[in-house]
Amino acid sequence: MSEAVYLITKYGGYYRPNCQGYTSSPLEAGRYTLQEAIRYSHPNGPDGPRDGIRYVHQDDLKGGTVKSGSRTQSTDLEPKSPDNPADNQEPVKNPKGGDA
């Protein structure tokens, strides 16, 4: 099973847990598996328009990961770069072979 470590963004906001609304805070954003992130970021199919939706791995945010139970959490958690590899529309290859 894939680990839920991806955040889904749309025009600067983040999907909340279970895709129930939006938040401007990545600390309040939901975490999704890679498969969920790909599915939700392609609402019009794999070749259709993405409607401003993309996904980013939590490690690719400024300030590092958001650790549950952490007493100090950075509020400077925005995508590092528009060239983020997590924004790639191509399927991610699993190191063990096949698609992730």
Q: Are 77 and 53 in contact (CB under 8 A)?
A: no
**Residue 54 carries which DSSP code?**
E
- pLDDT one digit per residue (tens) for the chain, 100 residues: 679 899 999 988 999 999 999 999 999 999 999 999 999 999 888 888 988 999 999 988 875 444 443 322 333 444 444 444 444 444 444 445 555 4
Per domain, the residue ranges of the chain are 6-86
pLDDT number for residue 12? 85
What end-to-end distance do the CA atoms of the chain give, in Å? 10
Write down the pTM of the prediction: 0.61
Distance in angstroms (rounded) separating the CA atoms of residues 50 and 9: 11
